[in-house]
Structure 1
Amino acid sequence: MIAIIPVFEALCIVLFGMPPPIFPIYPSTGDNTPNRKRSNQIDRMLAPEYDPEYRIFFNQYFKESELRANFDIDALRAIVTGTDLGSFARAAAQLGRSQSAISMQLKKLEQQAGTQLFVRRGRNLVPTEAGEAFIAYARQIITLNDEAAFAVGATANVTTVRLGLPQDFFEDVMPAVLSEFSRSHKGVHVEVQAGSNHALVEEVRNGRLDAAIVFFPDEPARHEGELICRLPMRWLAHESQALELAGDWIPLVLFDHHCLFRQSALAALEQANRRWKVSVTTPSLPGIWGALRCHLGLAVRTEHGLPDDIRCIDNNPDLPGLPATRLKMLRSSNASPAANDLCHVLRQETEKLIRQA
């Protein structure tokens, strides 16, 4: 018998391009003797722990094989559950299927695997040696499947709340709001964006923002939004800037877009018959502060969020008075429960910080 094996093996290689599956070659030892225990063959072919050298042979051996199959996750789950419970009848009850359905799944898996996975002992089905190796792989496949489903599902089901704030509120209000809100809403993703008053109002009206803090003119008849407080507008300059404004053109540092503070400053100067010129325009609040530090002009804003080196100069007799502004909170008409909770925290923290200022 032993003398026939090499001839049979060579014939299989010539005819089929691969050695016979019952006599796998082990490159690490060169051992192809037929009396090797079948359990060792199965362990090395199917178990996850087979050595790297044999893994190369295993991949090459099955590269053109028709044994590849797409195993059904539900069927894999059924055999793992049946093995863990010690009974496929109990597995059928736990999985909400009939015993016949479980039996059909098991039969299909054995057909795909090309070997018997379970044998009957008394009333129970127990895994064969190949079945034990197959179940080890089934557990890994099920684990990866469930992890992938959880990861995708967790991402898809995240609640997102979109908040808009003036740039003045990014250093104190935003951290306070996010810190307080995250304590009770750990699974909610908050998107925060800065913008001009006009842009923030439009974003809330169009439903692209769930809530926003916005400056409004001091007009009691305007009922849009929820009033948080009234804040006086202030003339601002750098602390080291010498002010000699009598009879001179007043240089202004302004936003380059539609802005309540820009409109209020120009209206006040026009009403007081003061000459003015635009020295610098910028799209950002840090740009305003940078221009003031270079003594390029004056700006108008509230006192909230002022850098330490920027001062109010309202007591200068050469500057006209400015109106107040109403700080309001806008919320979308279709705001989610999480967005409404954020609005509550936003109002609470903003009021607290303004009182402390």
Structure 2
Amino acid sequence: MRLPTFDLDVLRTFVLGVDLHSFAKAAERLGRSTSAISAQLKKLEEQVGTPVLNKSGRGLALTPVGEALLGHARRLLELNDSIFDALNQTRTEGTLRLGVQEDFGEWVLSDVLRRFALLYPVISLEVRIARNAELLTLVDSGNLDLALTWATGHASPYVTRLGQTPMHWIGAHDKPLPSRKVPLPLVMFDAPCVLRSAAIEALDRAGIAWRVALTSPSVGGIWAAVDAGLGVTLRTSMGLPAHLRVLEELPSVPSLAYELHRNRQQPTEPVAQLATLIRESLERHLL
């Protein structure tokens, strides 16, 4: 009796839909219609001979057979991808796309890029310095291979939590805090911003009135505005200019976690190596 052969494209859809907790999102990620995804799942269940998914409220849950299939499917896809990666290592050219949240730029890039270039001198790097929301969108759409961001609770299927670092209130050396009788002027990124939200939450919890004195799309703009005495900001100590100071008088805030997002479950060997270099650099600088 001839055994059926699984379609790896169908298995990839199945695994991605489970990881994203939504086959509609899987269809969007893969650039296919929901009807095409449904047809693939129907084909998979016909091959298996039994349902692999059950409706559970508004969502879907794996059947016992689906749970068993998921593990086998992951291993098949990893083997498939590793074969292609091994063959591609003989190439003399290629492009790797890295996204870095702006705070990490100066701290991470110089060290990491130098070490990566020594390992892969013929690979071209495309580096995008941007804010969290843009980077996460680019990873989700497959336009970045790897992105280093702050942890925001974004539902990304392929993310690794690397660590956390303290947040600090930052002000100008020669600018005292205003009286509590007037709102505290803040210098912030425009929303959405995880540090902006943390600052406002801490001040509201402490009953301290505040106002946004200036918004900037860049960390450099925030440092310049704080140095000019326009207000205080909440940032980490990464890249903190020497002429600014940490303010101990304002409410304490929790540490901020940082994460590494991939656009696929099994990264290529160069992407995996770049992720290792980033983790090592952050451990030296932050831990």
TM superposition score category, shorter chain reference = 0.5 to 0.7
Alpha-carbon displacement from aligned partner over 1:81-104 (angstroms, at most 9, x marks no partner): xxxxxxxxxxxxxxxxxxxxxxxx
Q: What's 1:322 paired with?
A: 253
Match of 1:252 in 2: 186
**1:7-63 superposed Cα distances (whole Å, 9 cap, x missing partner):** xxxxxxxxxxxxxxxxxxxxxxxxxxxxxxxxxxxxxxxxxxxxxxxxxxxxxxxxx
Equivalent residue in structure 1 for 2:197, among 240, 263, 287: 263
Counterpart of 2:106 in 1: which secondary structure? coil
Alignment root-mean-square deviation, CA: 2.2
Q: Which runs of 4+ in 1 moved over 6 A?
A: 221-224
1:192: Cα distance to partner?
A: 0.9
What residue in structure 2 maps to residue 281 of structure 1? 215
Of residues 136, 151, 154, the one that matches 1:201 is 136
Match of 1:32 in 2: none
- Give secondary structure in 2 for the equivalent of 1:171: helix
Contact 2:103 2:238 in 1 (8 A): yes
What displacement does 1:222 show?
9.7
Q: Judging changes above 3 Å, is the alpha-carbon distance between structure 1 residues 308 and 223 closer, same or farther for their aligned structure 2 residues? A: farther
Query: In the alignment, is the contact (CA less than 8 A) between 1:331 and 1:343 conserved in 2?
Result: no
Q: Is the 8 A contact 2:107 2:238 kept in 1?
A: no
- CA–CA distance in 2 between the matches of 1:245 and 1:320? 15
Paired letter, 1:311: R
Give how far 1:337 is off. Answer: 2.3
Shift of 1:264: 0.8
Q: Would the alpha carbon gap of residues 233 and 245 (structure 1) be closer, same or farther in structure 2, given more than 3 Å must change? A: farther
Residues 1:175 and 1:249: Cα distance change in structure 2 (over 3 Å) = same
- How much has 1:244 moved relative to structure 2? 3.1
Alpha-carbon deviations, 1:276-331, whole Å to 9, x = none? 11100111110001101110001011112211112110x20xx2221221111111
Overall identity of the aligned pairs, in % = 31
Aligned amino acid, residue 192 of structure 1: V
Deviations 1:115-148 (A, max 9, x none): xxxxxxxxxxxxxxxxxxxxxxxxxxxxxxxxxx
CA contact 1:164–1:212 (8 Å) conserved in 2? yes
Q: 1:323 to 1:224 in 2, by over 3 A?
A: farther
Range moving further from structure 2, 259-268 or 241-250: 241-250
Pick the structure with greater CA Rg: 1
Residue of 336, 339, 345 corresponding to 2:268: 336
Q: Could you tell me how far apart the structure 1 residues matched to 2:210 and 2:194 are?
A: 17
CA displacement, residues 206-253 of structure 1 (integer Å, 9 cap, x when unaligned): 211111111115x8x999621221112111112221223423210000
Amino acid corresponding to residue 171 of structure 1 in structure 2:
E
Q: In structure 2, what is the equivalent of residue 192 of structure 1? A: 127
TM-score normalised according to structure 2 size: 0.63
Q: Equivalents in 1 of 2:281, 2:225: separation in Å?
A: 30
**Is the counterpart of residue 290 in structure 1 residue 247 in structure 2?**
no
Task: Evaluate the alpha carbon distance shift between residue 189 and residue 255 of structure 1 in structure 2; reply closer, same or farther with a 3 A threshold.
Answer: same
8 A contact 2:158–2:263 mirrored in 1: no
AA matched with 2:105: F
Amino acid at match of 1:326: A
Higher RCO (CA < 8 A, seq sep 6+): 2
Contact 1:225–1:329, Cα closer than 8 Å, also in 2: yes
Query: Aligned equivalents of 1:245 and 1:182: distance in 2?
Result: 52
Q: Is the aligned partner of 1:354 residue 2:283? A: no
1:215 match: 150
Q: Report if the CA contact (8 A) 1:196-1:258 is conserved.
A: no
Alignment deviations for residues 171-226 of structure 1 (CA, whole Å, 9 cap, x no partner):
12100000011111000111111111122122112211111111115x8x999621
CA distance in 2, matches of 1:222, 1:210: 13
Equivalent residues in 2 for 1:295-310 (5 A)?
295-310=229-244
The alignment partner of 1:287 has SS state of: helix
